[in-house]
Amino acid sequence: MTDFAHLRRRMVEEDLRARGVRDYSVLRAMGTVPREAFVPEGLRARAYDDSPLPIGDGQTISQPYIVAFMVEALAPAGDDKALEVGSGSGYAAAVLASICREVYAIERIERLAVTGADALDKLHIRNVHVRYDDGSQGWADAAPFDVIMVSAGAPSVPETLRAQLAIGGRMVIPLGAGPRVQELVRITRKSQHEYIREDLADVRFVPLIGREGWGLEAL
């Protein structure tokens, strides 16, 4: 029988802490959330490989280091309200939920939205709300958000998401001229009309499909 707890501890030490992730709340969340619950059954033995894994419908669950890197870049706090765009199987939403007060997660593929919500429910994670919808349009009814994590690559920052960011809030989003290779960017909202952009790392995400993302031809 696979010792997932041991693999999880090793992941935190070798793939996260050793590569520079330092935020205690992020390391604690990554060491607590069972990634094996969010991957297809046939891939569970590989759940703690530091690599993306397929979850069906042409989508992937991001590698653990990238999830930790993105969450640390958001600097979430315990009273924060978070939005995740492109929630896939629900893993990153579960990590955010271990730190934030509430998480709103949007997934454009209905099957993944349903299975992701089911995985969260089985783990008794009650502070995540999942919606099947166009993530590039955000979740207006729940805005503003203290942190927004976009887990798909966009051609530019969707103005709707920018507007749903609280003053002082942070967004991390992969941006690129092509749908498959991007720069991970942090956007910080300083005031009603002032935003600061910081480039963080080269990344590779599936494309953000939607009204303010890529069209279906990018698939």
Q: Catalytic site residues?
A: 62
Of 66, 31, 219, residue with least CA distance to 150: 66
> What distance lies between CA 90 and its chain's CA centroid?
8
Taking alpha carbons only, the member of 186, 184, 142, 149 closest to residue 164 is 142
Measured distance CA(90)–CA(67) in Å, rounded? 12
Q: Find the angle CA(78)-CA(80)-CA(84) to the nearest 5 degrees.
A: 115
Q: Residue 131 pairs with which residues in a beta bridge? A: 106
Nearest-angstrom CA–CA distance, 69 and 56: 24
